[in-house]
Amino acid sequence: MPNLRYLMVALALAGLMATGCSSSSSPPSTGPSTDGGSDGSKADAHAADTGVVEGGGVDGGDCAFADFVIGLVNKDTTATATPSTDLGASLEDSQQQSCFASLF
Amino acid sequence: MRLRTVVGALSFGALAVAPTLAQASSHREAPFITKNPKVDGTDVYAFESYEAGHAGMVTLIANYQPFQDAFAGPNYFQMDPDALYEILIDNNGDGVEDFTFQFQFKTVLGGTKNAGITLPIGPDGGQQSVAVPFYNVGLIPNAAITGNASALNVIETYSVGLVKGPRRGSAAKLLDNPGGGTSFNKPADNVGAKSFGTSASLGSPTAPSPALVSDYAAYAKNFIYSGVSIPGCTAKDATKAQVFVGQRSEPFAVNLGPTFDLIDAPATVVTNGGVAVGGFAAVPNPLAAKSVTTIAIELPRDCIVQSATQPVIGVWSTASVRQARVVNPAATYVEPSHEGGAWTQVSRLGNPLVNEVVIGLPDKDHWNSSEPTGDVANFGKYVEYPTLPAIIDVVFGTDFQPTVFPRTDLVAAFLTGLAPINAFPKGKTVIPAEYIHLNTNTEATVTTGPTPAGSQNRLGAALCFSEGALNTASLTPYAPATSCDPYGFPNGRRPIDDVVDLALDVVEGYLLPSGNPAYNNAVTDGGASTPVFFTDGVDQASVQFDATFPYITTPNQGANGNGT
């Protein structure tokens, strides 16, 4: 029986890894900040209200940094957009390729 | 573990990294740009066109992709289709661009439906269509300006956009190709004599038969677009613009290795510059075998100046990439990475050598991402208190460093222009900004048109000044062969201008009225007037240039038609 429990735990972990992250199939609706003036280390009041942390990622989840990057990629790609001064340094990077699956 | 100081570098795959080479005018001059060689701006030139019959025209040239070896197949040197290359013009001295010419590139494969050239491989009845691995699989013809999709496997085109006002303030208006549409073609790189043919027979393919010169020069001329119109310009010459983008021979000359090896040359050579002495040509140009990719545009002066009475402009180049890049773990030719977001500047270049030998190492990447309006606040100390003269004194045990601080003479040379030749008229909105200052109507001052190619002085307009002031006698008439050539650096920059020697002379105090031991000025210091002219020992004028647009000449060929 102990072996079966170990197997179930292992399967659960594998499933979690296969799922990858919280929102890899669709980019976040809120893009990264472009107004600068922050090092991205603290969530502001607006972020607390909406669940979007400063840095642009969705609060929580293993794909926070990936979501931030996808937010940048899908931001405004016209000639008039200005770069984000927030580099997402406060966000956890799970380093999972699957977080970027929606791009390819 | 977080390594994301730059989001754009996010990588799950392998990013190609440039080879390790030394630096030059602005070649690989900052740490971050060494990771992005396709967007590395190397030199900017801005001058009144001196081609016969081109009075009233101004030529702007921005070079990219340094240290190209002609034999670097099979991929050679395409421009980055995910980048934005820009040439910017400020025509009122406020440090903000008033005109921005934007170049964006597209690369497709040759062959049917641009899927790549294929060959039928296998036995009759069982053949497979297999894509070839090469840049070209046959003679690249001269006649077809679009190249030949059946022989050329990599085809590059580009668009030219114009933004008036701040470059991110509005969308660009595309320039029309006089032949139709808004797409322009870029010539293939100079693969070699066999791929482009030669005027004579190819001869024996084995060395030591004589090397043959390919017909590349004639081929590339097909890609000079004349009669291009400037959107929104109603001046009489508004339809006479020219555009060219393509591989060219490296126009910059510098004694590169010794310069960065603690200036490893005898002091007697380094201090033997000037017009009459020969030390400036002591050694061959080590960059002679290299190539770059040139973006050149010739514009009617009346389309870009503030007014007929205010002809000074500031010119600089930039390159930008999308802010975010995600490397495709299953890369394809079309999408090896997915890039998006706002354009983010990674390369900036105005006057030569500024980021190279003036800006301190901690700020070089900052410089490349910056805009001229912040120059004084961000980088002013590097100009007013330069380190290069002190380093030269340490290396050679000399005492040439000027004693006047802050160095307002360098602010004038690099940030404001030299009155009355190429400085903006004083005004409330005119600020010091680091870019090439060009008087597009110098002939209004000196009565004669731009110095023709054969008469230009490699020391340019610097010799129109002495002891800190314009020597008006040198202008009437000016004598470029021996002294003053008002159409050259720092009044703009022409290909022949020896900016290395000039930069050395200027930082050592050539433009100072006093307090400059190297020049020991006779008038203000009571000295014997035995100036020291500095040189890197390589003669910029040894580089061959064309006398016609785009002036930068045919690139080196990758193979010589004789087995070498």
- Contact residues, chain B, for A69 at CB < 8 Å: 7, 10, 324, 326
pLDDT computed for residue B278 by the predictor: 63
Share of chain B above pLDDT 70, in %: 89
Under an 8 A CB cutoff, do B330 and A73 touch? no
Strands B290-300 vs B57-69: parallel, antiparallel or unpaired: antiparallel
> For B34-80, how does the pLDDT look when each residue is reduced to its tens digit (9 = 90+)?
999 999 999 999 999 999 999 999 999 999 999 999 999 999 999 99
B419 lies within 8 A of chain A by CB:
no
Under an 8 A CB cutoff, do A103 and B338 touch? yes
Q: Which residue in this structure is represented by tokens 């990719």?
A: B293
CA B266 to chain centroid: 30
Q: Taking a contact as any Cβ pair under 8 Å apart, which residues of chain B between 233 and 252 contact chain A?
A: none
> For B378-395, how does the pLDDT look when each residue is reduced to its tens digit (9 = 90+)?
999 999 999 999 999 998
Q: What is the pTM of this model?
A: 0.85
**Residue B149 banded pLDDT, cuts 50, 70, 90:** low
pLDDT computed for residue B541 by the predictor: 81
Confirm if A69 and A88 have CB atoms less than 8 A apart: yes
Q: Which residue in this structure is represented by tokens 């602010």?
A: B411
- Looking at the predicted structure, is the pLDDT value of residue B142 above 70? no
Under an 8 A CB cutoff, do A88 and B4 touch? yes
Q: Residue B561 and residue B564: Cα distance in Å, rounded?
A: 7
Under an 8 A CB cutoff, do A75 and B341 touch? yes
Mutation target among A70, A86, A103 for the B interface, most CBs of B within 10 A: A103
The DSSP code sequence of B408-461 is: HHHHIIIII--TTTSPPPP-TT-----SEEEETTTHHHHSS-PPPGGG--TTGG
B14 lies within 8 A of chain A by CB:
no
Q: Residue B23 and residue A34: Cα distance in Å, rounded?
A: 34
- Looking at the predicted structure, is the pLDDT value of residue B239 above 80? yes
Under an 8 A CB cutoff, do A93 and B2 touch? yes
The larger pLDDT score, comparing residue B353 to residue A60, is at: B353
Under an 8 A CB cutoff, do B342 and A88 touch? no
B126 lies within 8 A of chain A by CB:
no
- Looking at the predicted structure, is the pLDDT value of residue B2 above 60? no
B331 lies within 8 A of chain A by CB:
no
Under an 8 A CB cutoff, do A69 and B7 touch? yes
Under an 8 A CB cutoff, do B326 and A77 touch? no
Q: Residue B66 and residue B41: Cα distance in Å, rounded?
A: 8
Confirm if B318 and B370 have CB atoms less than 8 A apart: no
Q: Is the peptide bond before B420 cis (omega within 30 degrees of 0)?
A: yes
pLDDT computed for residue B484 by the predictor: 87
Q: Which residue on chain B is closest to A73 by alpha carbon?
A: B340
> For B360-370, how does the pLDDT look when each residue is reduced to its tens digit (9 = 90+)?
999 999 999 99
pLDDT computed for residue B274 by the predictor: 66
B344 lies within 8 A of chain A by CB:
yes
- Contact residues, chain A, for B10 at CB < 8 Å: 69
On average, the pLDDT of chain B sits at: 87
- Contact residues, chain B, for A78 at CB < 8 Å: 171
- Contact residues, chain B, for A70 at CB < 8 Å: 326
pLDDT computed for residue B555 by the predictor: 96
Mutation target among A39, A69, A85 for the B interface, most CBs of B within 10 A: A69
Strands B83-90 vs B469-470: parallel, antiparallel or unpaired: unpaired
Average pLDDT over residues B85-114: 96
B323 lies within 8 A of chain A by CB:
yes
Under an 8 A CB cutoff, do B343 and A83 touch? yes
- Contact residues, chain A, for B32 at CB < 8 Å: none
Closest CA to B274 of B420, B415, B105, B457: B457
- Contact residues, chain A, for B102 at CB < 8 Å: 79
- Looking at the predicted structure, is the pLDDT value of residue B14 above 80? no
